[in-house]
Chain A
């Protein structure tokens, strides 16, 4: 594939055309960075198709003073349900934190208790390893 690209570039060296640069066609309107396709718009079809998972909410508010035909301001709000965060990662995280909380009792215990654990462990190890001989 790289070979094809390279060959194409070589051939294009002797291209017989010259490039004409013009403004992007905007149906007569002005195109600016505000009229570009956004990431939300780009992923909208997929969001709609997987409605069951993303549960999108959409709210359009038009504010008008004199008559509803002369809009002064349009407010748009759209949101998707963070399904995976809420139903997968959330419970997982809470579970891990709960277990960690339980283990805190062990970790932040008294020094004397630790020494006792070490002593008990040492004895147990000696018994266990001594038994093999």
Chain B
């Protein structure tokens, strides 16, 4: 009895540590992408701490809510944030195991993130403003298209490792070494497109837009202010970091710590930060070299990703 309890206790402690760590780093990633984008446009860009300043500013302000909004509006950002935080405990970051990997794997991860998104979309409809409805409608449309492609890409990787659990998936990939299997490349390309769609980056959505009619995610959270908005922004940053970490885990887990030795952890930290940075650069370059697609062109992009994932799956069976 006692060993089980201490094991559960250790898992939860580990989960708390990892969630806190990712929460702390996420705003930095967002600002880093902004900064790199600015440098590509020959601008100076914001200081690296800007993400934290913004969050601190929003948290200090008073929340403004519509007088027709119900509890759904209040619950939206909170559930979204909670979903993002709990999703962090399902993904291995520095060690080749996720803190709460006995709770579930890929399906739970996708489901948890979908729940947060659903709550936010419902909350956006709550104020009765047309912009909220428009944003929710568009966000749900893209989610409905992107999620099958995301699942298919994840399943392809899971098929290679023979497990839906992210922890054992990473361990198997690590043991197998780098195989340069063609299906890995296809699945990676497919998932990269989906990560861009899910995090609201440029070919799909413009995170920096101030024009209501082109907004997708931003229109959905237009009615939020103060701490409510801070929660949404923070959770979005965590989600983005989580998706990039997921790509790193699935395709290049090399460098991740297999023991709790301090040296291994430091190496894993550096490797993880480097890999996420490289992916962030790829996102930045994609965002800087592409124009935003019309909403009705997005399905084409997603179907490319779906096609790539299908091909990857087919090659895996050959």
Contacts and interface: CB of A to CB of B under 8 A. Distances in A.
A45 B141 contact: yes
A20 B137 contact: no
Nearest to A32: B128
Interface stretch (A34-42, A64-72, A121-129): A34-42
Contacts of B137: 37, 41-45
B188 to A, nearest CB: 26
Given A4-B82, A48-B296, A49-B296, A37 B66 contact: no
Interface stretch (A21-29, A91-99, A108-116): A21-29
B297 to A, nearest CB: 10
Contacts, number: 91
Interface residues of B, number: 38
Nearest to A35: B130
Given A17-B63, A20-B64, A22-B67, A1 B83 contact: yes
A60 interface: no
B217 to A, nearest CB: 15
Contacts of A25: 129, 223
A74 interface: no
Nearest to A8: B78
A22 B83 contact: no
Nearest to A23: B67
A103 interface: no
B62 A45 contact: no
B127 interface: yes
27 contacts: A1-B83, A1-B86, A1-B112, A8-B78, A8-B82, A17-B62, A19-B64, A20-B62, A20-B64, A22-B65, A23-B66, A24-B66, A24-B67, A24-B128, A25-B223, A31-B128, A35-B130, A37-B130, A37-B132, A37-B134, A37-B136, A41-B133, A42-B133, A42-B137, A42-B140, A45-B141, A46-B144
Interface of A: 1-2, 4-5, 8, 15, 17-26, 31, 33, 35-37, 41-46, 48-49
